[in-house]
Amino acid sequence: MSVKRLQLLSRGSILLCLLGLAACAQAPQRSTGIDPNRLAFSVKEAEALQSRGARVWCVPFARNLSGVEIRGNARTWWHQAKSQESFEVSKAPTVGAVMAFSATSSMPLGHVAVVSKLVSDRRVLVDHANWHRNQVSLGMAVIDVSDKNDWSRVRVESVPGAFGSVYPVNGFIMAKS
């Protein structure tokens, strides 16, 4: 064999090895950051309500999952959180934060959901209850459609692959550690 052919075979072998290693490697998985015990408890509580014929609401589900101890309708959470020192508020999503939707004519009590994963700077996954009547939805995509990329307007993936109406969001609430 010529030296040139050996060099090409050697380069080819190295390339195949690198491709093989790349195929075996996994992309780093972001931790969901959601306490699995809290998630299990939240889902169990929702199932207990459903088994008794009671309604599952977004507020108790979000409170149980996030540890954000706020009472009252979802529409009041943002203002309560801003006025209390035991909470951090932000306009940017973080895993474990409560996304506080503003009240609208179609959603007069507002809505709250817990960010379970940051997918990109304009896409997150949330866990929440009662987006679909009396149901818990885990890992539902939400996209930021605001003009300023500030999460003030979002669309929720109500059906896989289909994002619904635009909803206003006040911001994100975290319990201080």
pTM: 0.81
Is 85 buried (19+), middle (13-18) or exposed (0-12) by CB count in 10 A? exposed
- How far from each other are the two terminal CA atoms of the chain, in whole angstroms? 68
CA 25 – CA 76 distance, rounded (Å): 46
70-121 tens-digit pLDDT: 999 999 999 999 999 999 999 999 999 999 999 999 999 999 999 999 999 9
Q: Which residue has the tokens 């101890």?
A: 69
Q: Which residue has the tokens 């459609």?
A: 145
For residues 110 and 128, the answer to whether their CB atoms sit within 8 Å is no
Structural domains of the chain, with CATH: 36-175 (3.90.1720.10)
Query: Which positions of the chain have pLDDT values less than 70?
Result: 1-32
For residues 169 and 154, the answer to whether their CB atoms sit within 8 Å is yes
